[in-house]
Amino acid sequence: MVDKLHTRPFPAEGNIAVEKKKRLWRNLFLLNLGISIMLVGIFWLPAKLIQMEEFFSSPSVNLPQKGEVAKSQASVQTESFANLLPTHVITVNASSEDQWTYFDFSRGTAVQIHDPSSLEWDLAFRRGKVISNGGATNKFGKAGFVDLKVTKFDSVSEVPLEEYVQDVTTKTETENPVLLSWYKYNYFTHKLTPKQNVYAVRTADNKYAKVQFLSFYCENKETGCIQMQYVYQDNGSGSFLKNSAGFASPATVASNPAT
């Protein structure tokens, strides 16, 4: 009888070498995978956890946090270029769902308006909606907007005098086509972020200003507080250079909403 142990074929040397290479590559792959997971755990995961914490604690356009409704904040003069009229930053409380908040550039503050057909206001805010005192909103007003696109705010030293877009009528109310999308809305986070566009504004009484929106959130994390920076020219020209007015416009001091 032939011994079966002595008749069993031995693996060829080439096959052994191939198996060793496979084990080597498999071990290298597992090593690299382990190192990658470790690096993700050290660097990427903590950053994502911080972002998630900020997301869950941040305000939402659709789900505002409870708290005291913020008041319209006073206009604050910021540092401007030496040859430009001063830039002001103001926060307007537009958190009401059904009431408009009116703003007047000449006074630099939110104002109480009993007759919307008057020329005592220039812009009106309600949540994320912005209208002007002109066109379909008020036939007596001259207000309107021109979109100057994305640009540096302080680089705009002059605005056009014509071609301003006034409010138009819709099925339910009036709106200004230029300001329909002054922000970007994230449907995942429900966050509203102002675009970096600068807008030329013609006021109700034919003066000019430039505006850039900065925020939609109040200090207490409520939504509906529109913060904007603006420069107002009170001499009727479209230039924001001091020498175009003959004198520098005085700093606007905002007070409580006035009639």
Domain segments of the chain as ranges: 1-57, 73-245
* pLDDT at site 78: 53
This prediction's pTM:
0.66
First to last CA, the chain: 119
Reported confidence tier of residue 32, pLDDT bands at 50, 70, 90: confident
Q: How far apart are CA 160 and CA 162, in angstroms?
A: 6
Tally of CA atoms within 13 A in the half-sphere of 205 that contains its CB:
12
* pLDDT at site 223: 85
* pLDDT at site 80: 56
The token duo for 250 is 């005085």
Has residue 82 got a pLDDT over 70?
Answer: yes
Pairing of strands 144-150, 123-126: unpaired
* pLDDT at site 22: 82
The token duo for 93 is 């409380």
Q: How far apart are CA 67 and CA 44, in angstroms?
A: 34
Of residues 212, 127, 107, the one with CA closest to residue 173:
127
What b/e string do you get for 214-226 counting C-beta neighbours within 10 Å, with b at 16 or more?
eebbbeebbbbbb
**Which range among 65-69, 118-122, 183-187 shows the weakest confidence by mean pLDDT?**
65-69
DSSP H or E segment with residue 226:
strand 223-233
Compare 90 and 77 and report the one with higher pLDDT: 90
Reported confidence tier of residue 101, pLDDT bands at 50, 70, 90: very high
Instruction: State whether residue 14 is helix, strand or coil.
Output: helix
pLDDT tens column, 170-229: 999 999 999 999 999 888 877 889 999 999 999 999 999 999 999 998 887 788 899 999
Find residue 156's DSSP bridge partners: none
Average pLDDT, the chain: 81
